[in-house]
Chain A
Amino acid sequence: MNKLFVPLAVVAAAMFVYAPFMILAAPYESTMGLVQKIFYFHAPIGMTMFMSAFVCGIGSAIFLFTRRPGADRVAVAAAELTAILGIIVLVTGPLWARKAWGVWWEWDARLTSSLVLWLIFEAYLLLRRYGGPGSDRLAAGVAIFGMANVPFVYWSVNVWRTMHPKTSVVPTLLPGMRGPFWFCFLAFTIFYVLTLHLRTRLEKRRAELEAVYLATEE
């Protein structure tokens, strides 16, 4: 991973620089016009957020059943990333909604479930910070419950009637829109992997530092 880091970072940076041009060139959506362009960031970040919730959940499960500290470090990093990506989704969404639906927020299935998912991972972070010793295992339990929430969020749009675009939108995108969308998705995935790696390294260094301190206290 270390050898790939810099080249991947360069690729990601280049993609992010190029993305706005692709997005500007994409055709306008018929009913929503210019504001629909938020989609090219909002939706990929939403998908990355769900992916991150899964990473955290799987890492937590591995940690819980094998006690490998590396898995816990990945889980912490993924939880923090889920929270950050969640904030982005929950802010860009209403900005789009204000123009497209006329309201900032609607208590429909997808929005409520996404907010709940974000809350769950914020709760994970709070538990890790204020729960005291042993909170790593407790938080792992929370993350597993949180991960169980993800598929529920995803198909809730299809189960209940809702204003939010259905999940069938992405597979049926027109070529003009498909390009920028998947381009942005790839860019965000690379960004996610890189940031996860960095954040996990931070946890590793913190653990090493603590070990050093413990070792030097006779």
Chain B
Amino acid sequence: MNISTAQVLLPLLIMGLGIIVLMLQIAIKRNASITVALSALVLGCTAWAAVKGITAGSVEATALLIVDGYGQLMTVVITLAALVTLLVSHRWLAVEQLERGEYAMLLLLASFGAVVLVHAQHFAAFLLGLEILGVSVYSLVAYPGKSPAPIEAGLKYLVLSSASTAILLFGFALLYAASGSLAFEGMAGRLAASSGVLVAGASLMIFTGLGFKLSLVPFHMWTPDVYEGAPTPVTGFLATVSKVAIFAALLRWYESANLGAIAPLTQVLGCLAIASMLVGNLLALKQNNVKRLLGYSSIAHMGYLLIALVVLGGVVPTGMASEAALWYLIAYTASTLAAFTALSALASRGWAAEACNLDDLRGLFWREPLLALGLSVSLLSLAGVPLTAGFMGKFYLVATGVEAGAWTLLMALVVGSAISTFYYLRIIYTLSSGAGEALACVNGDRSLSDALMIALLAAVLLLGIYPEPIMGVLASVL
């Protein structure tokens, strides 16, 4: 490895090194503040290095990893999301008296897995990243360890996720049998030359495995339970970083293997997309727990996102599909993270129980205006109301769909969004309605969560009002 490769690999190196330093720090002297500060520093530096790297062009670091603008951009998204999660958790950990350094450690490891995933150009790296991410997230989900709910959620996630990884591995094996290599590069040519049945079977198995992780219908059963049981900041992390990284890696493989040309596969994906949009939104209607509700809504959002994948490299060529997918990922991350940040700040300030029932939110508009505003705007963004990041995302997806003439998918999107308006508005209505029984408000330092909320709110609105700069970045990395 020479110096220039090392320079390009800087984000990965900083992160790996940072994790080791963090481990040593925890071993030498346990101190929550130092751990958090150190982890924040590592994440910040990684994000900074990745921002620098976006324009550096594409370099094959090893046979496993490719470092390019696309990967660096997703690294920025992942590390920033992890940073937000870390800072949000800080307060929650203090309230729950769980301030042991392992939490930050696991969070960093999970992000490291996610970063490896988005740089993967070989299925070996893909699996490594996926497992580093997955194993850390199981532990994070079950981290509190005091009440049964997180443990149940962690166990559920562990079992189903391992099963899905097994299916995924079987898919990899079939792919290897079909094409003789697991590298992404040149896969399109090798696949075209090999047996169609084997390739279709392999890709279907891989999609089944990833469908679990992305919680697409019909592999979505675990989602609401895990979302509800996991600590709120971890749910936010699970909903954003883990899905974004997996989708970004999937997109890279999908494009380089030109899977859009395999008609049966795109048909199946289309069905998955429609089922996710409709089932996710319909099941969200009846939820009284906000975390469960957001779990179902994330199923629907993954369905929307799948539209970009289905039309990518389809019959009518569309140049915008991957741009649309990336924008949607960024918008979804910002909005979802804002929602969970608000929920978790509300919980640690004592307004809502950890489980976050809808009734706990009653009348909070008048007591916690900033958090309620943040939650409302993020929900409006998820619902796709203009001037928010989510609207531009929907705009991108619909434009792509229209270009490709995917009318069935678009109609499902319209119907799904119309349904989703109902449950998002229900939360906003509850926030603005008269005050109910107030839980005791824990007084404590609120400046950190306020600052985070303002930053995320600004991000969601800026992406919606002035999207041009990020659109420019997207155009440059694709």
- A-B interaction: no
Q: Which residues of B contact A (CB under 8 A)?
A: none
